[in-house]
Each structure stands twice: as C-alpha cells, then as structure tokens.
Chains A and B, each alone.
Chain A
Amino acid sequence: MNHQWEIICNDGFQFMGKMNASISHEIKNVLAIINENAGLMEDFTRMAEKGLPMDPERIKSFARKIQGQVQRADGIVKNMNTFAHSVDEPRKRIDVGELLAFMTTLSKRLASMKEITLTVMPAAMPLTITTTPFLAHHMIWRCLDFAMAVSGPNSTVEITPDKTEGGARIRFKLPTGLIGKPSQALFPSDVENALADVLNGQVRVQQDSGEIVLILPESIDG
C-alpha cells in the first residue's frame, strides 16, 4: 500500500467509526424515549387498574410519541444502511445534490452537538457524477468537519453545488472572519489532498470568498 492510500485508509476507518458511533447514539436516544413513553403507558394503566381515572387522550399522546420515534429510527437505520453499502461499488453514477443531502443528514447530530446548522443549497440544474461513493462521502465529511471546526456555535455552514465544464463544484461557506486569513496550514491537510487525488478532483480554500472549494470530475476515470 502506498503512503497516500495508507493516509486515506487510516482516516477512513476513523470516519466510519465516527459515523457509526453517532448513529448508534442517536438510536439509543430513540430507544430511551420509546422506553419512557411505554413506561408511562404502563404507569397509567396500573393507576387505572387501581381505580384512578385515566384520560384516553394521554395514552394516545404516549402512543403517538412512540410512533414518531419509530419513524425517526426508521430514517436513521435507512441512512445507516445506505452508508454501509457505500463501499459496495467502486464506481457509481450519483446525484451531487442527493450526495450532499445524505452527508448533511448523516452529520446532523455531530453538527447539532456543536450547535451548527448544515444547509444544502439546491443546484441550478441536475448534477450527476461518476465517482467512488465511499471516498466521496469521506471527502465531503472532511470538508464539513473543517467548516464546522472553524465555525462557532449558533452558525450555519452553507453548502452550494454547481455544475462546471468538467463536473461538479461544491462550495462550503466558512465564517466571514476567516476571509483573507491564511488557512493553508490547516486545510487541506494530507488527508484531503490524498482524497482529492484519488477522486481525480481538487480541494482548496478560496481566500477571497472564504470558502472551501471542492471540485469533483464528471467521471473519476477521466
């Protein structure tokens, strides 16, 4: 394995671990809410058995909360499944808007822990590329992670995809305070450079606009 792949693999395992840990924590939270609402239904039923008046609307509200959490868990597990299968195909035609929506959904809990909102702006026209899905996910996470790290609490990271002659350009807006300040020392690091290289793309911080700019080719195979 050459040095570049060694860098990608090491960080890739950490990326997978981080995403899986975040997903499992979210599932645990869902289970905890279901547990308390099921417990409330049991408590109220026991009180009714003892002759205390029971409001059916309260029981319905607990059932509705449980159903809501089941829906939430279903969405989480679907995303987990999509993420797990992203390693299946070395090449796939993907919609860039869908790719960004998926990655921001997957990163939502981690962003929320930092009090950051992730917003994907719609592309002006349909935008598809042929790439390696897992590596594209990894690359987008690295950009999001840096953008979140330099953005303070209560901020929004805006992600804008657009079409270029050779493929797709994705811009991650950084806080205005970073405009014009040298950030090459921090980003892109060896990991982002290695990923950009194997994806046949480019990544850089655009100093004048204060954005991370990620370029992905229309086809990874050129």
Chain B
Amino acid sequence: MPGKRILLVDDEKDFVEGLGERMRIRGFDIETAVSAKRAVQMVREKAFDVIVLDLNMPEMDGLETLKLLKENNPDIHVILLTGYATAEKGIRAMLSGAEEVLEKPSHIEDLIRKIEKVATRKMVKV
C-alpha cells in the first residue's frame, strides 16, 4: 500500500506537517493543504488515491468540501477526520460521500488501515 498518493487537508499546519512526515516515513506519497480551497484546487490539478479531510475548517467545512470534491470527481475516496466522531456526524459524513470517519487524535496505524481499506475498494472497482 505504501506509494499511494494521499492528500492531507487540515487548517492546523503543525498537524498536517507532523502527520505528513510520519506517513512519508511509512512510504506514502504525501501532499498537504491547510485550506479547503487549496485542497479543491490541488485535486483539480493532480490525481490522489485518497483524501484525508478535516471536518472543521474555515472557508468551507469538511462536508461542503467533500461535496465539492465529489462533484468534480465522483470516484474520489475521502476519509473524514473529526474531533468528535458522533453517530450523527458519521451518518452525515457517509451520506455526503465519505467512506470512513476517524476521530482526532488517532493512532497512525488506524489511519493507514482505513486508507488501505478505501484504496482497495478503488482497486476492486477499477
């Protein structure tokens, strides 16, 4: 699974940088964005295997961003990160097209498992 291109999106720069470096150590091809607008622009310019997206961001929240990403590319795979993964938030996220929801802070292995899960789904689909 290492080698997959992942986009990490969160307005907390120190968080995406830290997580990004840990993912790179594990062999993933990581790019980061600290705003939803930048993430949407990056997804238009490049192909990513999975987007890891924070639910609470300025400009556009995660669900709005997800909707926009899905409009541009319905096959895009998105994992939502949230401070509090309530059942209601999870259902809303899934209805908006997220495939997985993960609570922050989380173990990196849990995130990698979820990335592998959604990326595998993509491979089966293709």
User: Quick check: A112 and B14 within 8 Å, CB to CB?
Assistant: no
The number of residues on chain A lying at the interface, defined by a beta carbon within 8 Å of a beta carbon of chain B, is 23
Closest residue of chain B to A46 (Cβ to Cβ) is B25
Please tell me if A180 contacts chain B, counting CB pairs below 8 Å: no
Which residue of the partner chain A has the closest CB to B57?
A113
Q: Are A37 and B12 CB-contacts (below 8 A) given A28-B105, A32-B104?
A: no
State how many residues of chain B have any CB contact under 8 Å with chain A. Answer: 19
* A28-74 CB contacts (< 8 Å) to partner B: 28-29, 31-37, 39-40, 43, 47, 62, 65, 69
As a 0/1 sequence over residues 14 to 29 of chain B, the CB contacts with chain A under 8 angstroms (1 = contact) are 1100110110010000
A24 to B59, CA, bound (A): 20
Q: Are A40 and B18 in contact, CB atoms less than 8 angstroms apart?
A: yes
Does A37 lie within 8 Å of B14, measured CB to CB?
A: yes
Is the C-beta of B56 less than 8 angstroms from some C-beta in chain A? yes
Cross-interface CB contact of B108 among A31, A39, A112, cutoff 8 Å: A39
Q: How far is the CA of A115 from the CA of B104 in the complex (A)?
A: 23
Does B83 contact A33, Cβ atoms closer than 8 Å?
no
Nearest Cβ distance between residue A34 and chain B, in whole angstroms?
8
Known A-B contacts A24-B83, A40-B22, A43-B22; A33 and B56 likewise in contact (beta carbons under 8 Å): no
Q: Nearest Cβ distance between residue B23 and chain A, in whole angstroms?
A: 10
> Interface on B for A, CB 8 Å cutoff?
12, 14-15, 18-19, 21-22, 25, 56-59, 61, 83-84, 104-106, 108
